[in-house]
């Protein structure tokens, strides 16, 4: 039997050990404490959305200076601007969903504060068939920014990256699927079939990563139907970004060293100013999205809790 303080100290030591030996340690980490780890502070009080703003999920130019062919006065943009999603707090977690369910319109929940160099920890519990995650160093509207993926859907990437407004850079070393029961509830996560559906995993998405975990290692730590702990370290004016899931190192992306069509690291650094907001995402699946409902199932929700940050 552990007392609270002993349990907390042990949990933090296990997390540090797992982060220090990726590929060797298969320790998992679950941050169930109400207090932030040492050196971190909380961005969510567990009760209200104080410190966060609900924002529409609007399209942005693909890269700085790119042509932008979306009609700002069109019907789709009008509907998108008026929809900020549905964000509630339930059982100590932020719950995000489309509003109304099956509307196909996404949204962001954006931190009022901005951050430059930091480590961020957040527990996430996505429903199956959601395309979600969180963006870092974003503009006030929640995008452009670099997204840390939590695409819990067929052909989804978890712990990888997507550059919203950053030329669409896409870094992921594996794609997942799930075995589901008769009610479409996932029983376990499996590697995705690269020949089935819209396969997003390809040589280019692997090549831009400086480090990429093997899918079999990821499958050992992912917890189906539970909260999973993401950790992100972002450091540098043109940053290097590292992700962990449940203590397992997933991916490293050096934004100063990427070859990708229309990607300009210096232009993006000038656009962001080396810092930005944190943005939680509910994805849209409208306008003839090839993923359709697979990207966001009608009525699906995502939950975030224990959102902790340490500024470096």
**Close Cβ partners of 201 (under 8 Å, ≥ 6 residues apart):** 155, 157, 172, 173, 174, 175, 192, 194
Mean pLDDT of the chain: 89
List pLDDT tens digits, range 156-209.
Answer: 999 999 999 999 999 998 999 999 999 999 999 999 988 776 667 888 999 999
Helix (H) or strand (E) holding 130: strand 130-138
Instruction: Give residue 218's pLDDT.
Output: 98
| Residue appearing with tokens 């069509």 | 261
Which one of 2.40.50.180, 3.90.700.10, 3.10.20.440, 2.60.120.560 gives the CATH number of domain 4-311? 2.60.120.560
List pLDDT tens digits, range 263-277.
Answer: 999 999 999 999 999
Instruction: Give residue 2's pLDDT.
Output: 34
Question: Does this model's pTM top 0.85?
Answer: yes
List pLDDT tens digits, range 118-145.
Answer: 999 999 999 999 999 999 999 999 999 9
Q: How far is CA 144 from CA 126, 156, 167, 184, 238, in A?
A: 23, 21, 10, 33, 15
Instruction: Give residue 13's pLDDT.
Output: 42
List pLDDT tens digits, range 49-86.
Answer: 999 999 999 999 999 999 998 888 888 888 889 999 99
Instruction: Give residue 285's pLDDT.
Output: 86
Half-sphere exposure of 240 (CA within 13 A, CB side): 7
Could you tell me the residue ranges of all domains in the chain? 4-311
Q: Is 80 exceeded by the pLDDT of residue 250?
A: yes
């Amino acid at each position: 039997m552990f007392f609270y303080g002993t349990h907390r100290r042990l949990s933090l030591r296990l997390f540090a050990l797992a982060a220090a030996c990726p590929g060797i340690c298969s320790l998992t980490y679950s941050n169930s404490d109400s207090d932030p780890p040492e050196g971190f502070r909380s961005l969510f009080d567990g009760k209200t959305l104080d410190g966060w703003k609900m924002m529409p999920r609007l399209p942005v130019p693909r890269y700085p200076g790119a042509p932008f062919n979306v009609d700002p006065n069109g019907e789709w943009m009008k509907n998108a601007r008026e929809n900020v999603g549905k964000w509630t707090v339930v059982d100590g977690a932020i719950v995000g969903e489309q509003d109304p369910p099956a509307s196909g319109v996404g949204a962001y929940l954006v931190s009022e504060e901005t951050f430059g160099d930091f480590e961020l920890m957040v527990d996430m519990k996505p429903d199956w068939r959601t395309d979600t995650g969180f963006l870092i160093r974003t503009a006030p509207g929640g995008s452009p920014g670099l997204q840390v993926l939590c695409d819990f859907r067929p052909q989804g990437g978890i712990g990888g990256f997507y550059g919203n407004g950053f030329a669409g850079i896409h870094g992921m070393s594996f794609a997942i699927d799930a075995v589901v029961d008769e009610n479409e509830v996932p029983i376990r996560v499996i590697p995705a079939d690269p020949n089935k559906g819209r396969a997003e995993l390809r040589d280019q998405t692997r090549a831009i990563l400086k480090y990429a975990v093997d899918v079999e290692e990821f499958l050992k730590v992912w917890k189906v139907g539970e909260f999973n702990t993401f950790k992100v370290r972002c450091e540098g004016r043109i940053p290097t970004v590292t992700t962990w899931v449940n203590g397992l190192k997933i991916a490293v992306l050096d934004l100063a060293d990427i070859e990708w069509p229309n990607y300009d690291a210096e232009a993006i650094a000038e656009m962001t100013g080396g810092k930005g907001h944190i943005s939680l995402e509910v994805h849209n699946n409208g306008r003839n999205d090839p993923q359709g409902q697979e990207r966001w199932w009608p009525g699906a929700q995502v939950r975030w809790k224990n959102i902790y940050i340490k500024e470096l």
